[in-house]
Amino acid sequence: MRGWIASRLLQTVLVVFLSLTAVFGMVRLSGDPVLLFMPMDIQAKDVNEYRERLGFNDPLLVQYARFMRGAVRGDFGESLRYRRDALGLVLERLPATLLLAGTAMLLTLALAVPLGVATAVRRDGAVDHAGTVLMALGQATPGF
């Protein structure tokens, strides 16, 4: 049991590490992060000042180490778009997110449990076939 828990914890650490690395890389692949969120008529000195303040002038390895250290500490830095604490922005929108996710979960359960029971009770019946079709459609629908 301890081996299984240790294995799961190691997998979790690996997945978090790879996810954070992917996020760091994707932000850099889309171009200069500072230029993406600055107004088009911004002065070059303002861009350089902002880059310096956020540490984007540092070598990429230094930026990566700073990003990972901040993520481990729960400090996700400043939002480039809103110029506010990123974690604060996430926490500010968390209640609405939980409301939407909770509502979707309740609706899913309200539909899925009775449909599952009905398909189990009358195997190969009309409800079973309709449930199978609905399940296939649901799984084929993209998440976005």
- Measure Cα distances from 80 to 8, 22, 37 in Å: 34, 18, 6
Q: Are 118 and 127 in contact (CB under 8 A)?
A: yes
Task: Tell me if 30 sits within 8 A of 70, measured CB to CB.
Answer: no
Q: Which of 84, 109, 135 is the last residue of a domain?
A: 84
Q: What confidence score (pLDDT) does residue 16 get? A: 92
DSSP 78: B
Same domain flag for 73 and 2? yes
**Residues lower than pLDDT 50 in the chain:** none
Q: Provide the pLDDT for residue 120.
A: 84
Same-domain check for residues 72 and 104: no
Domain count, the chain: 2
Q: Helical H runs in the chain?
A: 2-29, 33-37, 44-54, 60-73, 86-121, 126-140
Phi, psi at residue 35, to the nearest 5°?
Answer: -65, -30
Write down which residue in 84, 100, 129 finishes a domain.
84
Q: Mark whether 80 and 96 lie in a shared domain.
A: no
pLDDT of residue 7: 93
pLDDT at 40: 76
The pLDDT of residue 128 is 82
Considering the domain architecture, whether residues 100 and 132 belong to the same structural domain is answered as yes
Domain range enclosing 49:
1-84
Domain identity same for 8 and 77:
yes
Greatest CA separation found in the chain? 72
pTM for the model: 0.61
**pLDDT for res 121:** 85
Same domain, 75 and 6: yes
Residue 78 and residue 15 share a domain: yes
Looking at the fold, whether 56 and 98 belong to one and the same domain comes out as no
